[in-house]
Amino acid sequence: MISVLVVIPTYNESESIQSLLSRLDAARKVVSEMFSIDILLVDDSSPDKTAQIATSMNLSNFSVLNRSDKSGLGPAYLAGFKQGLNLDYQYFVEMDADLSHQPEQLVDLLKAATANSLVIGTRWMPGGSVVNWPKKRRWISKLGTRYASFALNLPYKDLTSGFRVLPRQLLEKIDFTSIETRGYGFQIEMALKAISNGFQIKQVPITFVERENGYSKMSMAIVWEAWFMVTIWGLRRLIKRR
């Protein structure tokens, strides 16, 4: 049996959390003969009581890590990874709480997972799609990942995707204190860490659905952080080559 920890950062996701967890619980039952899947909610003290609502569902193999403040996506994931590494999980899943990532497609990502690869759920590839996104969001996402691919010389279609599977072996090789990003640039940085440590990257097509409830945590500050850090990493790459 392969042990898996699904890490879900949350902040004010009370309107979607029950549906997400119900669908995720159903999805993990489908593959229960192959995967033993636990769910960890990393909640940044949501004022709308996201964590309490989730806990009230009384799901098996479910726990909540409560954090005292809202410090970003990256730190939330790292907190979840740290807790999971103290146990015997073989794979760690990153997943959004707003139902943009389809729980039913977790099966496809896990089937592609290996001990020496990072699996990225990819929107911008054959078989992948985006539903109900405005043109501006499509433009930002496509341009961002194309810029990152160009600056970092990485031939991947969706470096900012947050639906992915990381093997334990990868997380054990990463010095978490070296992580420089807090927002969505964290996803690009983790891909860079994977490659620099000799891991492969696999791309699996996914359907991304725009949230129906709540509000996006995306801001211009988060976009700027990602663009700025990609530029810095790209310059470092060029200097190192010379």
User: What is the C-alpha to C-alpha distance for residues 38 and 114, in angstroms, rounded to an integer?
Assistant: 18
Contact 120, 205 (CB under 8 A): no
- 149 or 43, higher pLDDT: 43
64: Cβ–Cβ under 8 A, 6 or more apart, which residues?
A: 40, 41, 42, 43, 51, 54, 55
Q: Could you read off the pLDDT of 59-80 as tens digits, one per residue? A: 999 999 999 888 789 999 999 9
Distance between CA atoms of residues 198 and 117, nearest Å: 9
pLDDT tens digit string along 16-40?
A: 999 999 999 999 999 999 999 999 9
Taking each helix axis as running N to C, give the angle between helix 135-152 and helix 185-196, from 0 to 180 degrees, rounded to the nearest 10. 30
Return the closest-CA partner of residue 16 out of 130, 103, 138: 103
All structural domains of the chain: 2-241 (3.90.550.10)
User: 64 — alpha (psi -120 to 50), left (phi > 0) or beta?
Assistant: beta
Q: How many whole angstroms separate alpha carbon 17 and alpha carbon 23? A: 10
pTM: 0.92
